[in-house]
Chains A and B, each alone.
Chain A
C-alpha cells in the first residue's frame, strides 16, 4: 500500500481540536504580528472605517487649510520600566516622534497621558517625567497637553503612558507604504534586534561580556538628513514590535509588491546574535527602537545610504534588499548558505510588553 492510499479529507484533517477564533484578547493580539493585524482589520477598522485611517500607516496624514499634518498615537507598557539604555518615558517620546518621522513629517507637539498604579514611588515617576522632558527637548518637540489617572494597586503595572503627536509634512514629501515600487532598494539604518534583546536580557537576568543597551532614539534628525539627500523616499517604517520581518511583510502586502532580502547583508551585532541563539529567537522578529527601514528609488539608494552613514544614528546603515515585481505580497530571503525562504509576519508572540 502506498502512503497516498491514506487520502485525507478536509474534515478529517481537523486533528486534535479545531480551536479557532479566540473569544478573549490574548497577549499575542499586541505582538505587532498577524494577530494584531487581524484584530485591527476584523474588529477595529470595520467600525472606525474612513479614508484617512485606511492606509493603516504609522500615522494619519491630514490636510488642513493647505498644511499637511501627520498625526499619530502610541501607548507604552514596557516591563521593566527602567532598562539598560532607557526607560518607559524615553520610549514614549521617541516612539511617537518616530511614528511622525516615518510619515516624513517634522514632529512638533506631543500630548502625554499617564496611567499610574497606586504605590508607584514618586522618585521613579519623577525620573520618568524628567527623562521625557530631556528626550522631547533633544528631539525638538514640545509636550503641550496631558492627563493623569491613578488606578488601584494591581490594576496596572506601575505606569502606562500614551503619547500622541502632530508634525508638519514638508512640500514634495510623499511617504506611504503603498509607494514601494519594483527595483526600489531596501535600507536599514543600523544593527537589528537590539532593543528586544536589551529588555529580554534584563528580564531573564542574562549577562553578556558587554551590556546590551536599548537603541531607543529619536529618528527625525536622521530622516531630515535622508530627505535632504533624496526628497522622493518612497517608504519609511520603524520596525518596532514584530521586527524587521513583520514591518517588511506588511509593506509588501500593502504595496502588492514582493521584497527580497539578502541575509548576509543584514547588520547584527555578535552579542545580539549570540543572545538570540541562546533564547531561541529569530532576530528578524525581535523589536527595534531607534532604527528605520527605508525604501528608496534605485538611483537614489547610494546617496541616501551615504546620508544615513554620515549621521550618528545611521553609521551602520546598509542596503539589505530590493522590491520586486515577483511574488507580490511576500518577502523572501536568500539565506546564509544560499537557500531561499519566505519571511512572514510574526505569528503569535515572541516577547510581550517590550515597549
Chain B
C-alpha cells in the first residue's frame, strides 16, 4: 500500500537494526508512550529484532486502559438507563467496571452502540429525539479535537439531547509522573506521534530539559519505531537530551493550530484519576462551563459515584513501565482478553492485550536479570 509499505520494509528494518547494534555500548531502557506503538512492536516482533541491550517498556498511552474504574462505573450507571442511547468506541465495551461490562449491559437490553466517530452520535441524537444520546469521550489529545467538535456542533446546532461523559487524559503530565517515580527505569522516550500531530511538541521540551531524557516524537509503522529507537539511543550514547522529531511527515513543532484552538474552546485542564496510577494533577480535560448542558456527568447526576481502586493492581505498574505484562502471574491464565482482570488486557492497544494477541504468553519467558 502506497505510503505504508515503505514503512514496513524488511531490508530497511535490517539496516536500522544493524546501525543500532553498531552504536549501542551499554543497556538502555526506552519507553514507547503510545498504545498504538506497543501494538506495532508486538505485532511485528520488533522487540525481538533489537539487540539485547535495548529494552522496550510499554507506556501509559492506551486511553482505554487508563480510564478509571470510577469513570467506568459512571458510564455503566448512565448506560443502564432506559432513556439513554450510550455510544462508545468499541474497545470500551469490554472494560470491566465494578459489576459488569457494557457488553453484558447490552445483552440485558441497554441500548449501547459502537461508533467510529463522536460526530456520528449527533446523527443518532437527531434520529432519536425522545432519547438522550451520550458519548463516552475518552482518549488522549489525539481524540480531543473530534470529541470537542461533537460538543461544539451540538451546541451550535441545538442538539439538546446529546451529551458527553468526558474522561480525557494528557500525555505530558503522565510522562512527568513516570519520571518522578522512585521506581523509574526509563531513560529515553519514543514519543507520541499522533498526540503531537494535534498538540505539537513544544510542551515536551521542558520535560526533556528538566529530567535530562531524550524524547523522540515517533510514528507508528515498524520502520518509524525502529528509527525512533535509533534516534533515542544515539542521543543516550552521546549524552544529549533533546526533543527530536522522527515523524516530520505528520508532526511539526506547533501542531494543528485549528484543532488546538477548538480543544481549548471546549475543554479546560483538570486533575484526573488514572486507573491503577491514581490522581495526577492537571492531567486531563473537562468540559468548560459554557458547555455544561452537554455534560453527562452533570445531567445524569453521577458525580457522586466514587469507586475505590484496589490497593495493588499490576496494571498500574505495567502502565508506568515498571512491570511487563508477563511478570503478572495471572497473565494468560486467569487473565485473558475474554476474561480480562485488568484494563491493560482489555483494549487492543493495552500492553497486556498486545502481548496476548501476539502470543507472548506462549513463548518461553525470558530469564529475569538479577536486580
List residues of chain A with CB under 8 Å of any chain B CB: 1-6, 8-10, 12-28, 34-35, 38, 204, 270, 273-274, 277, 279-280, 327, 330, 332, 335-344, 347-348
Q: How far is the CB of B363 from chain A (nearest CB, A)?
A: 8
Residues of A within 8 Å of B59, CB to CB, are none
CB of A339 within 8 A of CB of B44, answer yes
CB of A19 within 8 A of CB of B101, answer yes
CB of B96 within 8 A of CB of A16, answer yes
CB of A19 within 8 A of CB of B339, answer yes
Which residue in B106, B335, B337, B358 is a CB contact (below 8 Å) of A342? B358
Q: A6-B317, A337-B46, A339-B48 are in contact. Are A35 and B335 (CB under 8 A)?
A: no
How far is B93's CA from A47's CA once the two chains are assembled, in angstroms?
Answer: 31
CB-based nearest B residue for A339: B45
Q: How far is the CB of A217 from chain B (nearest CB, A)?
A: 25
Q: Does B1 make an interface contact (CB < 8 A)?
A: yes
Residues of B within 8 Å of A15, CB to CB, are 276, 310, 313-316, 341-343
CB of B328 within 8 A of CB of A13, answer yes
CB of A1 within 8 A of CB of B359, answer no
Within B322-371, the residues touching A (CB, 8 Å) are 322-323, 327-330, 334-343, 348, 356-360, 362-363, 368, 371
CB-based nearest A residue for B95: A16
CB-based nearest B residue for A14: B341
Q: How far is the CB of B366 from chain A (nearest CB, A)?
A: 14
Q: A6-B317, A12-B312 are in contact. List 20 more A-B contacts (CB 8 A).
A: A1-B182, A1-B183, A3-B183, A13-B341, A16-B97, A16-B342, A16-B343, A18-B334, A18-B339, A26-B103, A277-B4, A332-B359, A336-B8, A336-B10, A337-B9, A338-B10, A339-B48, A341-B359, A347-B338, A348-B337
Q: How far is the CB of B229 from chain A (nearest CB, A)?
A: 13
Q: Does B309 make an interface contact (CB < 8 A)?
A: yes
CB of A337 within 8 A of CB of B49, answer yes
Q: Does B14 make an interface contact (CB < 8 A)?
A: yes
Q: How far is the CB of B244 from chain A (nearest CB, A)?
A: 22
CB of B96 within 8 A of CB of A17, answer yes
* Interface residues of chain A: helix, strand, loop or mixed (majority): loop
CB of B1 within 8 A of CB of A270, answer yes
Residues of B within 8 Å of A17, CB to CB, are 69, 96-99, 341
CB of A273 within 8 A of CB of B1, answer yes
How far is B10's CA from A23's CA once the two chains are assembled, in angstroms?
Answer: 46
Q: How far is the CB of A270 from chain B (nearest CB, A)?
A: 6
Q: A19-B100, A336-B10, A342-B359 are in contact. Are A8 and B48 (CB under 8 A)?
A: no
How far is B362's CA from A339's CA once the two chains are assembled, in angstroms?
Answer: 16
B side interface size, CB within 8 A: 69
How far is B309's CA from A3's CA once the two chains are assembled, in angstroms?
Answer: 21
- The proximity string for B residues 33-45 relative to A, scoring 1 for CB distances below 8 Å and 0 otherwise, is 0000000001111
Q: Does B107 make an interface contact (CB < 8 A)?
A: yes
CB of A340 within 8 A of CB of B182, answer no
Q: How far is the CB of A25 from chain B (nearest CB, A)?
A: 6
How far is B39's CA from A26's CA once the two chains are assembled, in angstroms?
Answer: 26
Residues of A within 8 Å of B94, CB to CB, are 348
CB of A340 within 8 A of CB of B310, answer no
Residues of A within 8 Å of B101, CB to CB, are 19
How far is B66's CA from A16's CA once the two chains are assembled, in angstroms?
Answer: 11
How far is B317's CA from A57's CA once the two chains are assembled, in angstroms?
Answer: 43
Which residue in B310, B334, B371 is a CB contact (below 8 Å) of A10? B334
CB of A13 within 8 A of CB of B314, answer yes
Q: A16-B275, A270-B1, A347-B336 are in contact. Are A9 and B69 (CB under 8 A)?
A: no
Q: Does B104 make an interface contact (CB < 8 A)?
A: yes
Q: A2-B371, A16-B310, A19-B100 are in contact. Are A340 and B45 (CB under 8 A)?
A: yes
Which residue in A10, A21, A280 is a CB contact (below 8 Å) of B348? A280
CB-based nearest A residue for B316: A15
* 20 intermolecular pairs with C-beta atoms under 8 Å apart: A3-B322, A6-B183, A6-B317, A8-B328, A8-B329, A14-B330, A15-B314, A15-B343, A22-B107, A270-B1, A274-B1, A279-B116, A330-B359, A335-B45, A337-B13, A338-B13, A339-B49, A341-B42, A347-B356, A348-B94
How far is B327's CA from A4's CA once the two chains are assembled, in angstroms?
Answer: 10
* Interface residues of chain B: helix, strand, loop or mixed (majority): loop
CB of A336 within 8 A of CB of B362, answer no
Q: Does B185 make an interface contact (CB < 8 A)?
A: yes
Q: How far is the CB of A352 from chain B (nearest CB, A)?
A: 9
How far is B329's CA from A6's CA once the two chains are assembled, in angstroms?
Answer: 13
CB of B371 within 8 A of CB of A4, answer yes
Q: How far is the CB of B324 from chain A (nearest CB, A)?
A: 10
CB-based nearest A residue for B323: A3
How far is B371's CA from A2's CA once the two chains are assembled, in angstroms?
Answer: 6
How far is B330's CA from A12's CA once the two chains are assembled, in angstroms?
Answer: 9
Q: Does B222 make an interface contact (CB < 8 A)?
A: yes
Within B177-217, the residues touching A (CB, 8 Å) are 182-183, 185
Residues of A within 8 Å of B329, CB to CB, are 8-10, 13
How far is B361's CA from A330's CA once the two chains are assembled, in angstroms?
Answer: 12
CB of A337 within 8 A of CB of B348, answer no
Residues of A within 8 Å of B69, CB to CB, are 16-17
Residues of B within 8 Å of A13, CB to CB, are 314, 328-330, 334-335, 341-342
How far is B47's CA from A341's CA once the two chains are assembled, in angstroms?
Answer: 11
Q: Does B108 make an interface contact (CB < 8 A)?
A: yes
How far is B45's CA from A16's CA once the two chains are assembled, in angstroms?
Answer: 29
How far is B342's CA from A35's CA once the two chains are assembled, in angstroms?
Answer: 19
How far is B99's CA from A327's CA once the two chains are assembled, in angstroms?
Answer: 38
Most buried by B among A17, A270, A344: A17
CB of A341 within 8 A of CB of B358, answer yes
How far is B20's CA from A101's CA once the two chains are assembled, in angstroms?
Answer: 51
Residues of B within 8 Å of A26, CB to CB, are 103-104, 106-107
Residues of A within 8 Å of B371, CB to CB, are 2-5
How far is B337's CA from A60's CA once the two chains are assembled, in angstroms?
Answer: 31
CB-based nearest A residue for B348: A280
Top-7 shortest CB links A-B = A342-B359, A339-B45, A2-B371, A15-B342, A15-B313, A13-B330, A347-B337
Which residue in A8, A28, A335, A342 is a CB contact (below 8 Å) of B312? A8
Which residue in A12, A19, A332, A344 is a CB contact (below 8 Å) of B357? A344
CB-based nearest A residue for B182: A1
Residues of A within 8 Å of B338, CB to CB, are 28, 34-35, 38, 347-348
Residues of A within 8 Å of B275, CB to CB, are 16
Q: How far is the CB of A6 from chain B (nearest CB, A)?
A: 6
